[in-house]
Structure 1
Amino acid sequence: MALLVVLVALVPGVWWVSYTRLVAARSDVDDSWAEVDAELLRRYELATRIVETASATSDPDRIEELIHWLDAAVAAPRTPEAANEFEPPLGEAIDRLAGPILRDRLDDVDDRIAVAGSFYNTRVEQLDRRVRAFASGFVARRHGFERATFFEF
């Protein structure tokens, strides 16, 4: 009888703790993605400056390519999946046109993206661990928590 009382009290407590930790982990992932996204927006602004600077002296095909990937990245949803799709070709297009004047600023922005992305990926790993764990996995499935996408930069 005492065991039944303990179980009745313990199960909701474990459920509540697991749910609270999952909510906190998902919130951490969302907050850290906002940091990555802010840095990506800085990169897009810098890419726009590169287009303006390079327009007079660079190959029009390369400028057109950068504009294409910049427009695609800006129009894409603000998600890790979209960033993983559009950032590599955008980065290559930026690298082909960035002159020495903007190279330092671009390197600084890229470093900031890498740091924010690393922090984001750590948070994703923590959430994923909770979603896969035994007790919290039941809670995660019941309440629609899913594994998050890693950011590749």
Structure 2
Amino acid sequence: MLPLLIIAGIILFLSIILIGIYNQFVKNKNTVKDGWSNIDVALKRRYDLIPNLVETVKGYASHEKETLEAVIQARNAAMSVPSDDINAQIKAENQLQQTLRSIFALSEAYPDLKANTNFLQLQDKLNEIEENLERARRYYNGTVRENNTYGESFPAVIVAGMFNYQHFEYFEAEIESRENVKVSFT
């Protein structure tokens, strides 16, 4: 009888540990998704602003058709990524960020555009959205760090496969998007 109670106690103890690990996986995943939803709101605001920005630039830099089309294509590609595929969205957003930088590089070459009130207002609005996005990105990356650290730590790493542990990617600027955009009219 005593060995049976010991075995039952061990099973109960292990069950409590597994339940705790499972609950932590659920908590971490939901925290990451909450962090991503904050980013998603800022991205949707950016998506809504981009067509107005492109239309304003078109009037001043109509022969920069390739640049403007690249921005619209990047926007459409980012919008078409399934909302539940966070890692794919991050890649698409980095591409969109790179193409947006090319529009602002164009403004340096067109003084009339740079002085246009609508363009300046759109640029200010985009800067505000980017600041909100940066705050949301910091929060999201913090939640990703906690999730990934927990999923790779002992004892959770042992049972991660059983609980469909999801490793998330950080939302960081790609290396090439950190370089200055070069505009040449030769």
State the TM-score, normalized to the length of structure 1. 0.87
Larger Rg: 2
Q: What corresponds to 1:46 in structure 2? A: 49
Q: What corresponds to 1:20 in structure 2? A: 23
Q: After alignment, is 128-137 or 96-105 more displaced?
A: 96-105
Structure 1 residues 56-67: aligned runs within 5 Å = 56-58=59-61, 59-67=64-72
Q: What corresponds to 2:180 in structure 1? A: none
Q: What corresponds to 1:80 in structure 2? A: 86
Q: Does 1:101 align with 2:121?
A: yes
Per-residue CA distance 1:29-85 (angstroms, 9 max, x = gap): 111111111111111111121122222212222211211211211122233322332
Of 97, 110, 120, 1:91 maps to 97
Q: For structure 1, list consecutive stretches of 5 or more residues without a partner in the other structure.
A: none
Q: What corresponds to 2:158 in structure 1? A: 138
Per-residue CA distance 1:81-109 (angstroms, 9 max, x = gap): 22332223322322332543322111111
Q: What corresponds to 2:111 in structure 1? A: none
Are 2:151 and 2:165, in contact at CA under 8 Å, matched by a contact in 1?
yes
Does the C-alpha gap of structure 1 residues 88 and 19 become closer, same or farther in structure 2, counting only changes over 3 Å?
Answer: closer
Are 2:87 and 2:168, in contact at CA under 8 Å, matched by a contact in 1?
no
Q: Does 1:119 align with 2:139?
A: yes
Q: Does 1:7 align with 2:10?
A: yes
How big is the shift at 1:146?
A: 2.4
Aligned residues: 153
Identity of aligned residues (%): 22
How big is the shift at 1:16?
A: 0.8
Distance 2:166 2:140 in 1: 16
Q: What corresponds to 2:167 in structure 1? A: 147
Does the C-alpha gap of structure 1 residues 5 and 85 become closer, same or farther in structure 2, counting only changes over 3 Å?
Answer: closer
Greater helix percent: which structure? 1
State the TM-score, normalized to the length of structure 2. 0.73
Are 2:77 and 2:92, in contact at CA under 8 Å, matched by a contact in 1?
yes
Runs of 4+ off more than 6 Å = none
Q: Helix, strand or coil: the match of 1:143?
A: coil
Does the C-alpha gap of structure 1 residues 54 and 144 become closer, same or farther in structure 2, counting only changes over 3 Å?
Answer: same
How big is the shift at 1:4?
A: 4.3
Distance 1:89 1:144 in 2: 29
Does the C-alpha gap of structure 1 residues 15 and 62 become closer, same or farther in structure 2, counting only changes over 3 Å?
Answer: same
Residue identity in the other structure for 1:137: V
